[in-house]
Each structure stands twice: as C-alpha cells, then as structure tokens.
Amino acid sequence: MIEDKNPQRTPVENLGEFGLIDFITKNFEISHSSTVTGIGDDAAVLNHSKSTVVTTDMLVEGVHFDLSYAPLKHLGYKAIMVNLSDVYAMNAVATQVTVSIAISNRFPVEAVKELYEGIEMACKTYNVDLIGGDTTASRSGLVISVTAIGEQDAEKIVRRKGASDGDLLVVSGDIGAAYMGLQILEREKAVFKANPQNQPDIDAYSYLLERQLKPEARKDIPKLLEELDVLPTSMIDLSDGLSSEIIHLCKHSDVGITIYEDKIPLDPTVITACEEFNLDSTTIALSGGEDYELLFTVKQEDFPKIKANPSLSIIGHVVDASLGTNLVTRGGEQIPIRAMGWNSFQE
Ligand code: ADP
Ligand code: MG
C-alpha cells in the first residue's frame, strides 16, 4: 500500500514553474459560458447571470491527509469534492474552481501529474472549469487550496439560517463511513509499519475506504430537490460530523433540533466495522465527519414529496431554541447532542 509504484522521478526544476503550470493545466477544457477567460492571464474573467457563491478550503499534509495511504489522484479528487460540497450546500450549481498548490522539492513532476489527474477527473465528472491557481514551493509538505465558485438564482440560495419550529430535518445518503474508512487505513498503516511484508486485508471495507479516500459531493441533491419542487429552509454540508453541523444549523437559525437514533442512516459495513473496532455506531455517525452529505430542513408540508426517496432520510425535526439539540435513543431516552462530541471516543 505504501510502496512507491511510480519510480520515475523528474525534479520540478527540470520544467521550471511556468513549464510545470503548462504541463499540469494543458488537459483542462472550459465548458461553461460564464467562464470568459480561464487560465493564462493575470486573472480569470467570469460572467454569471445569477448570484455567485464562492467558497475556499485548504488541505494540509499531516493535518488533513497522510500521503502514506492517500493516493495522490484520490487526494486531488477529494480536494475538489470538499469544495464543491460547500457550493451544493448553498443549493447552487458549481461552475468554476481555482487550485493552488505548495509543493516540497521531494515532490517530483510525476506526483504533481497524478494529483492533477484526480483534479481533472473531478472537474470533468462534476462539470466545473479549472480557471486558475497558484504554484509555489513548500518547506513542510504538500498544501492544496481550492476555491470553488457557483451560481444560483438569489431566491433559491439556501443558507444555514432559515430553519423554523416544526420543519423536518433531512440528511442525504448514509453517514459514518468516511470515519470508519480512516480507522481502517490507520490500522493497516500500523500493521504495515510493524511488518512491511504484511498484505493489507481491506477488501471487505472497500465502501468505507472509498468514502474516506474518494468522497463524492452531492451534486445530485440540489437537482433532486428542484425536481421535487422542494426548497430547503436551511442547509449545511456534513464535513465535521452530524452533531456539530446540527449545532451550526441551530445556532444560525436560532432553533433547537431533536433527532432519533433509529432514523440515522448507516451503511451495514459501518455497523460491522464499528463492532470490530468496539465503537458505538451512533457516536461515529454523530461525530465522525468527512461524509460530505447534505443536511437540510424542509417545511412539514413537503413531507409527502421526500418521504419515499431512497437518497433522503428524515432523521428529526426542528423545535424551539429553548429545547436545545437532543438525540432520542432507541430506548426512548433523550440525550443532549452537545455532550456527544468528538472527545467522547478519543480516549
Ligand atoms: P501570476 O504570476 O500573474 O500570478 P502565474 O504565473 O502564477 O501568474 O500563473 C499563470 C496562470 O496559470 C494563471 O492563470 C494562474 O491562475 C494559472 N495557474 C498557476 N498555478 C496554477 C495551478 N497550480 N493550477 C491551475 N492554474 C494555475
Ligand atoms: Mg501567481
């Protein structure tokens, strides 16, 4: 898993900064009419006919990823996903990205190429134009900073603020898998360190690993909601974990939220992995993070439009702020969500 499968190592100096920029950006095509000028000038020029949304996220080696198990192509893909997820969480359509990288001199041209293959695959799959970036040296590992840009009619933009008493709380997909994927990668890394001859035993966990290494942003959800004629009252993406995102929605909307343990959507492999690691699956779902699903509230009258949708789970409802944020367990007990933070399973 950790061996170098790409022995060819061309130093970046051979190409120079501009040669490198040409090399990594030459395959990218512009597909949006709102991209007036892309890569190559001092600045890109955009012309959106709707409101523009802009978001930035930075990934730092050793903080957000570990190159000993994150393949560069996946990392490039994930760097774009993390950002597109924030655009979709505004109920907007992602249209452009910029990508800035800081690379150390131990990083050969081949590695940069791999990283950009992932970025290119993400841009093609999600139909966004790469319109610029910056390339610089780093003395302490790889840094990738992406800015994503999107557009939406002003009245269709959905914020964290807007939920009100009685609204239903909905989450897309399933949660907790990315965190369990990370647990498996950490364990295999430890096993590999102890004995490099050991073949990692990860086949049973391919879904969990994919959710961690190559997440998909939920481009389909704003589209689905539009088709269903549902405009969420508030929305956020799940980057940090369900409990902290629920608390964000409550804070911005000045409401409380009650969720039900038995409604939380878990993939069966998350449950299996949690048993194996002796972790509580509800705690993982609440605190795990990096799921990049969308969490949103809808008016109660929209219930019939979403209740049977396999991509959507209604996990709770909005209550008055004075009631706070609570989880109702399978046993009917009510537990404040605030108490179930990341730290509850870090010891
Ligand atoms: P400047 O010196 O004016 O900032 P650069 O030489 O850094 O310009 O960049 C030249 C062009 O290449 C610009 O359009 C810039 O946005 C783009 N660019 C630079 N680095 C990257 C990168 N890592 N990924 C994508 N585009 C890049
Ligand atoms: Mg520059």
pTM of the model: 0.93
**Ligand 1: which residue has its CA nearest to atom 24?**
133
Ligand 1 contacts CB of residue 23 (under 6 A): no
The Cα–Cα gap between 123 and 147 comes to 13
- Amino acid at the residue 278: N
Residue 65, beta-bridge partner list: 61
Arithmetic mean of pLDDT, 7-23: 90
Q: Could you read off the pLDDT of 131-183 as tens digits, one per residue?
A: 999 999 999 899 999 999 999 999 999 999 999 999 999 999 999 999 999 99
The Cα–Cα gap between 297 and 303 comes to 11
In the structure, ligand 2 is a single-atom ion and the residues with CB under 5 Å from it are 134
Arithmetic mean of pLDDT, 290-310: 97
Residue 346: what pLDDT? Answer: 42
Beta-carbon contacts of residue 244 (< 8 Å; ≥ 6 apart):
287, 341, 342
Residue 132 Cα, ligand 2 centroid: separation in angstroms?
Answer: 9
Identify the H or E element spanning 215. Answer: none
Residue 327, beta-bridge partner list: 259, 335
Q: For the chain, how far is it from start to end, CA to CA, in angstroms?
A: 28
Atom of ligand 1 nearest to the CA of 28: 25
Q: Could you read off the pLDDT of 96-132 as tens digits, one per residue?
A: 999 999 999 889 999 999 999 999 999 999 999 999 9
Ligand 1 contacts CB of residue 134 (under 6 A): yes
Average pLDDT, the chain: 93
The Cα–Cα gap between 69 and 65 comes to 9
Q: Could you read off the pLDDT of 202-239 as tens digits, one per residue?
A: 788 999 999 999 999 999 999 999 999 999 999 999 99
Give me the phi and psi of 274, to 5 degrees please: -60, -40
Contact 215, 292 (CB under 8 A): yes
The Cα–Cα gap between 216 and 194 comes to 33
Arithmetic mean of pLDDT, 5-16: 82
Token readout for 194 is: 């102890």
Ligand 1 contacts CB of residue 25 (under 6 A): yes
Ligand 1 contacts CB of residue 38 (under 6 A): no
Residue 297: what pLDDT? Answer: 98
How does residue 339 score in pLDDT terms, banded at 50, 70 and 90?
low
Contact 189, 2 (CB under 8 A): yes
Residue 193: what pLDDT? Answer: 83
Ligand 1 contacts CB of residue 21 (under 6 A): yes
3-state helix, strand, coil in the chain (%, to 5): 40, 25, 35
Number of helices (H), then strands (E), belonging to the chain: the values are: 10, 13
How does residue 198 score in pLDDT terms, banded at 50, 70 and 90?
confident
